[in-house]
Amino acid sequence: MCGIVGAVARRDIVPVLTEGLRRLEYRGYDSCGVAVLQYGVPRRVRSVERVANLAEQVDHAGLSGTIGVAHTRWATHGAPVTGNAHPIFSCGEIVLVHNGIIENHEALRKELKTFGYAFDSETDTEVIAHLIHHMRKQDPTRDLLVAVRRSLRRLRGAYAIAVFAKSDPNLVIGARAGSPLVVGLTDRGNYLASDPMALAGTADRFVYLEEGDVAVLTCDGVKIVDCGGEAVRREVQTQRASHHTTELGPFRHYMQKEIFEQPSVLADATERVQTLTPTLFGANAPHVFKEVDSLLILACGTSYYSALTAKYWFESIARLPTQVEVASEYRYRESVVNPRTLVVVVSQSGETADTLAALRHAQQLGHRHTLAICNVAHSSMMRQTDLQYQTGAGPEIGVASTKAFTTQLVALFLLAATFAQARGVADAARQAQWLEQLHHLPAALNGVLALEPQIIRWAEAFAHYEHALFLGRGMHYPIALEGALKLKEISYVHAEAYPAGELKHGPLAIVTNEMPVVTIVPNDALIEKLKSNMQEVRARGGLLYVFADEDAPLDDDDGVNVIRLPAHDGPLSPILHVVPLQLLAYHTACVRGTDVDKPRNLAKSVTVE
């Protein structure tokens, strides 16, 4: 989704701005731009092509300067055309980039037109630039900070902004409410970014702005005021934003690299756990765990599917009533609050607007106990919950989530097992068995990844279909949902997932000899039921593509394609079964020639509603 970089330094900041945009590319965007103050004049270059192309244009135009802002835009208001790309100018004086959505932009646009402002773009962002210009004109001191703060008070919606003015050649102002923004500190200048990864190699000391904060950056320092206008000090965090993790290495795409990183990231995530103890989830967890009698898990997309899988674990192994809800639905419905419920938000980025809003909604309703399960340590969700668990997948660049999903599953399984321990529903032998199964996961995953050549052969056939069904039962049903999501996201094949028992209640009507039906067949208690469901498909000529456990009792049958996974039983089976589905989606997309890591219309981190 949109990305921001801003800079004020004692050096030419253009290379930092363009490199920052390159590092934010993975988030998804459809246009980009850079603006600097050069010899006292704001100059900008914008493009609807990739950042590499923008960088060439910037070079060609000879852009340089010591203050500037840059942006990758993911279109919401107005088409992805150059005229709507940021930075946005107001009257050749104010230069601004913005992430988020201004909900009252129409009313503000009307009002600003009455003051004589002409609009050059269809964006909601342009109202902010004009508003700042207008507020500044009204103020005899012409103070940019005063104008920004007065303007922000008029905005409804979510924003992170970076702004500079022609007549203030030494400062850049950043502000946030609802969208993340971080300040990067160095001895030679100060920087802004929507994600610290943008500043890797430039800064390693960061200040995460809080809701409503406004930061004034000069070469020599940073002043922060809170939403009430009071000067505040925010903690400085030293954090080396990792370089190497964005290298592709021998892989064709980041998604493939990230699928193959799963054994090592899962090894890191599981090896550090040798006993089940609530403190894994924060210092206050032992106290909170005692009070909790149920769970409410809020998430979106793939993270929602990890939560759906975990519901089976929470109820079966921890005997804890668990409700899982799509965050964008929960935030707008009337719900009943049980103060003994632990609200868990699950998110790779920790910045997803709907999940963040659902968390705040739950807190406003009176939920006292909250836990974030996130991949990004200092993300908004991690900072707004009383308990935290970092999944440790490392940066995930591909828009389609893979290693972030399996590490979420590990975190959620650990949570379920820890609750089982804390609630006294699992004896020591059972706990030891779970830990052993967790520690065996990386080896088991290597066995599954070795199936790639067989999956590539399937993908060659699969790539010709326009529709597919995915079936699973029990805790593998959410895995079917995730498999279908992966396929549609990156290959654009229309895919739906059903609990296999639901087939006869409707979807069977679309099964013909043109319909591939991917079925997840673990060797568990439901296998005979699943075999009956597969017969229902075969009887209608449907083409079965079955991922079965090695020891699953299946008859060889004409027209049924089977790939056997290394034998594995126990509750962690979903973590193994999702991997071949990731590979199937990946290789199908490769055959179809799509932009695997940056699928159309999608963004890595969805920071707008």
Which residues would be at the binding site for ligand AGP (CB under 6 A)? 300-303, 347-349, 352, 355, 399-401, 489, 605-606
Nearer to ligand AGP, 72 or 348 (CB): 348
Query: Could you tell me the smallest distance in angstroms from the CB atom of residue 609 to ligand AGP?
Result: 12
Question: Residue 433 is encoded by which pair of tokens?
Answer: 């068995």
Q: For residue 137, indicate whether it is catalytic.
A: no
The secondary structure of 496-548 as a DSSP string is EEEEGGGGGGTGGGG-STT-EEEEEE-SSTTHHHHHHHHHHHHHTT-EEEEEE
Annotated catalytic residue within 2, 32, 374, 590? 2
Query: Could you tell me the smallest distance in angstroms from the CB atom of residue 401 to ligand AGP?
Result: 4
CB-based burial, 155-182: b 16+ in 10 Å, e otherwise: bebbbbbbbbbeebeebbbbbbbbbbbb
Bridge partners of 8, per DSSP, are 67, 190
Spatial contact of 497 and 470, defined as CB atoms under 8 Å apart: yes
Nearer to ligand AGP, 303 or 341 (CB): 303
What does the alpha-carbon distance between residue 478 and residue 306 come to, in Å, rounded to a whole number?
7
Nearer to ligand AGP, 302 or 406 (CB): 302
510: which residues sit within 8 A by CB, 6+ positions away? 467, 469
Query: Could you tell me the smallest distance in angstroms from the CB atom of residue 22 to ligand AGP?
Result: 20
Question: Residue 548 is encoded by which pair of tokens?
Answer: 């079965």
What does the alpha-carbon distance between residue 174 and residue 78 come to, in Å, rounded to a whole number?
24
Nearer to ligand AGP, 214 or 387 (CB): 387
Nearer to ligand AGP, 21 or 603 (CB): 603
Spatial contact of 389 and 411, defined as CB atoms under 8 Å apart: yes
Query: Could you tell me the smallest distance in angstroms from the CB atom of residue 605 to ligand AGP?
Result: 6
Query: Could you tell me the smallest distance in angstroms from the CB atom of residue 374 to ligand AGP?
Result: 8
What does the alpha-carbon distance between residue 128 and residue 141 come to, in Å, rounded to a whole number?
20
Spatial contact of 317 and 416, defined as CB atoms under 8 Å apart: yes
Query: Could you tell me the smallest distance in angstroms from the CB atom of residue 351 to ligand AGP?
Result: 7
Spatial contact of 88 and 129, defined as CB atoms under 8 Å apart: yes
Q: Which position's Cβ is nearest ligand AGP? A: 301
Side-chain half-sphere exposure of 111, counting CA atoms within 13 A: 14
Nearer to ligand AGP, 30 or 489 (CB): 489
Query: Could you tell me the smallest distance in angstroms from the CB atom of residue 30 to ligand AGP?
Result: 16
Nearer to ligand AGP, 132 or 415 (CB): 415
Spatial contact of 318 and 423, defined as CB atoms under 8 Å apart: yes
Query: Could you tell me the smallest distance in angstroms from the CB atom of residue 48 to ligand AGP?
Result: 23
Query: Could you tell me the smallest distance in angstroms from the CB atom of residue 399 to ligand AGP?
Result: 5
Spatial contact of 193 and 20, defined as CB atoms under 8 Å apart: yes
Query: Could you tell me the smallest distance in angstroms from the CB atom of residue 392 to ligand AGP?
Result: 14
Q: For residue 604, indicate whether it is catalytic.
A: yes
Q: How far is CA 543 from the centre of its chain?
A: 34
Nearer to ligand AGP, 401 or 437 (CB): 401
Annotated catalytic residue within 403, 486, 598, 604? 604
Nearer to ligand AGP, 85 or 399 (CB): 399
Q: What are phi and psi of 19, to 5 degrees?
A: -65, -40
Side-chain half-sphere exposure of 382, counting CA atoms within 13 A: 19
Nearer to ligand AGP, 35 or 327 (CB): 327
What does the alpha-carbon distance between residue 374 and residue 420 come to, in Å, rounded to a whole number?
22
What does the alpha-carbon distance between residue 530 and residue 118 come to, in Å, rounded to a whole number?
64
For helices 573-592 and 477-491, give the axis angle rounded to 10 degrees: 20
Residue 34 vs residues 194, 198, 319, 381: alpha-carbon distances, Å: 15, 14, 54, 30
What does the alpha-carbon distance between residue 207 and residue 569 come to, in Å, rounded to a whole number?
46
Bridge partners of 7, per DSSP, are 68, 191
Spatial contact of 277 and 597, defined as CB atoms under 8 Å apart: no
3-state helix, strand, coil in the chain (%, to 5): 40, 25, 35
Active site residues: 2, 604
